[in-house]
Amino acid sequence: MEVQEKPKTTVVNRVQKNIRMDLWNIIEFQILSHCHLNKIFISEFNLKCLTFLVLNNNMELTTFCTEVIKKGLSGSTQSVRNILAKAEKKGLVTKLGKSKKKILINPDLNIQATGNILLDYKIMRVDPKELQ
């Protein structure tokens, strides 16, 4: 007679949250999630500029810098350019063209900013003892 082992069950502490956010906050959340999961440091000021970039994607660089200042997110175009240069090195921003560069959030981030948005993350940690 063959004895069958019962599959080992894992106890999981599950947390479900349903939150409604405005467009600005849901974009910020997506950027922060990407940065956290990829261990990319981002300041509050950088986050605001990147969020504004998502909302104004594919804009000419000089125009974008001017708009950020008008919005009150920065005091100088050089600060905005520095943020974008750092963000580009971190893979968060893409620049297109040579003379009148267009800037956009890196499409690989898959940031959603139009229509109804439902973010469905499934993030899990397994206790190493459970893997044995």
- Give pLDDT tens digits for 107-129: 999 999 999 999 998 888 888 77
Query: Distance between CA 20 and CA 89 in Å, rounded?
Result: 32
**Which structural domain, as residue segments, surrounds residue 35?**
23-109
Q: How far apart are CA 36 and CA 20, in angstroms?
A: 21
Element (H, E) at 66: helix 61-70
Report if residue 9 sits inside a domain. Answer: no
Number of structural domains in the chain: 1
User: Cα(108)–Cα(87) distance, rounded to whole angstroms?
Assistant: 14
The answer to whether 64 touches 50, Cβ cutoff 8 Å, is no
| pLDDT score for 11 | 76
Assess contact for 92 and 106: CB atoms under 8 A: yes
> What CATH number is associated with residue 77?
1.10.10.10
Question: Is 63 part of any domain?
Answer: yes
pLDDT of residue 100: 76
pLDDT band, very low/low/confident/very high, at 48 (cuts 50, 70, 90): very high
CB 15 within 8 A of CB 99: no
**Six-digit token pair at 84?**
């974008």
Q: Report percent pLDDT > 90 for the chain.
A: 64
